[in-house]
Amino acid sequence: MRYHEGPQVIVETEVAASPEILWALVTDLDLPAQFSDEFQGADWVDGADGPALGATFLGRNRHRAIGEWEVRCTVTECDPSRCFGWAVGDPDAPAARWRFEIEPRSDGSLLRQWAQMGPGPSGLTPMIEQHPEREEELVEMRLGMWRTNMDATILGIRSIAEGG
């Protein structure tokens, strides 16, 4: 898979909790930092104080190979108790898109996290430019990192939502 193809990762889990409980958790910008080894938290900026279309937040990240960085994100999807999504960097050509989806079930909810690379440049772009022959390997490696953190995040959210 090549970067320009917009590779994606999707993880999901059943949760014995209502969509409303999950909504409060997936829109808590700092909560995923409890479970991710890269994401360090985020703060609403530019007058935003919660999830709304067009609201912006500043996310903080750390990776052992590239250090620490911050990135501005823009909420692009906001359907309470159903979907919360954002674009990383330029909303018109994001480095990535991320989304939590919540589907009501008779015994709780299905919680899904989705992420897509590109189409805009990201931290992976310079590595691909330096080693174009390794692009597919680099993309797969990064997707694997995302999947590990996404799995940990939705399982952590499930544990909190279920009172664990």
From 70, 123, 134, select the one nearest 95 (Cα to Cα). 123
Contact 96, 73 (CB under 8 A): no
Instruction: Give yes or no for residue 3 having a pLDDT over 80.
Output: no
Confidence of residue 123 (pLDDT cuts 50, 70, 90): confident
User: Residue ranges per domain, the chain?
Assistant: 3-161
What architecture is the 3-161 domain classified under in CATH?
A: 2-Layer Sandwich (3.30)
| pTM (two decimals) | 0.93
pLDDT confidence of residue 107: 94
pLDDT confidence of residue 121: 86
124-145 tens-digit pLDDT: 888 899 999 999 999 999 999 9
Strand order in the sheet with 8-15: 8-15, 108-117, 96-105, 83-88, 67-79, 56-63, 39-45
Whole-number CA gyration radius for the chain: 16
9-61 tens-digit pLDDT: 999 999 999 999 999 999 999 999 999 999 999 999 999 999 999 999 999 99
Residue carrying structure tokens 């960085």: 69
pLDDT confidence of residue 110: 98
47-83 tens-digit pLDDT: 999 999 999 999 999 988 778 989 999 999 999 999 9
Between β-strands 83-88 and 39-45, what pairing exists: parallel, antiparallel or unpaired? Answer: unpaired
Of 20 and 1, the one with more pLDDT: 20
Confidence of residue 164 (pLDDT cuts 50, 70, 90): low
Q: Tokens for 39?
A: 């994401």
